[in-house]
Amino acid sequence: MTKRSVNLLKKRRGISPAITMLIILGISVLAGVAVFQNFQSQSSVASARGAITVENLALIKNPSGEMWLSATIKNSGNRQIDSTVVNLQVDTNSGTPGIQPFSANPNPAALNPGQTASVFVRVDDSGGSPITSVDVGESIPVEIRGTTPDGSIVTTPTSIMTSLA
């Protein structure tokens, strides 16, 4: 090598250390943002839940002895509920062992988060006759059930006291 070629090699410069540090820092920040977004999306899926709250629930017995169920429920979770049912724990078929609950389906059946559904129906036995065996002031267990799109079941147990119309 000649003296001139040696001088040319010495005059060539690489990337300055400050610019190298900025490039490494930029790559680190981008990688951190990507990892954060990945964990954020996974945690939002994991925290998705269905929940049902009771807005209004009444069981009214009129003077003729018929009972009427009025219920308003709300999807207070953050995922859709495909179907809902209100189960009043009164025996609708005394010929079958165990309690055969009275079921009523609120309308609309599918609830988006924040949406409400209502039902107002006469409480009948399996033959279609009104149930009159419950006394005014008697407390009856109620179960509100909902099914989410993935098949999981959301249950809200409560009770209701029969009142006179």
Report pTM: 0.67
Is 106 domain-assigned? yes
Q: What is the number of domains present in the chain?
A: 2
Backbone angles phi, psi at 78, to 5 degrees: -120, 20
Compute the CA torsion angle 129, 132, 137, 142 (nearest 10 deg): -30
Asked if 93 and 132 sit in the same domain, the reply is yes
Is residue 4 assigned to a domain?
no
Separation CA 123–CA 87 (nearest Å): 11
| Beta bridge pairs of residue 58 | 70
d(CA 71, CA 51): 16
In a domain? residue 94: yes
* pLDDT tens by residue, 3-25: 665 565 566 666 788 888 888 99
Please indicate, yes or no, if residue 6 is contained in any of the structural domains.
no
Mean of the per-residue pLDDT values of the chain: 84
What CATH number is attached to the domain comprising 157? Answer: 2.60.40.1200
pLDDT digits (tens, 9 = 90+) for 105-151: 999 989 999 999 999 999 888 788 888 788 889 888 999 999 998 88
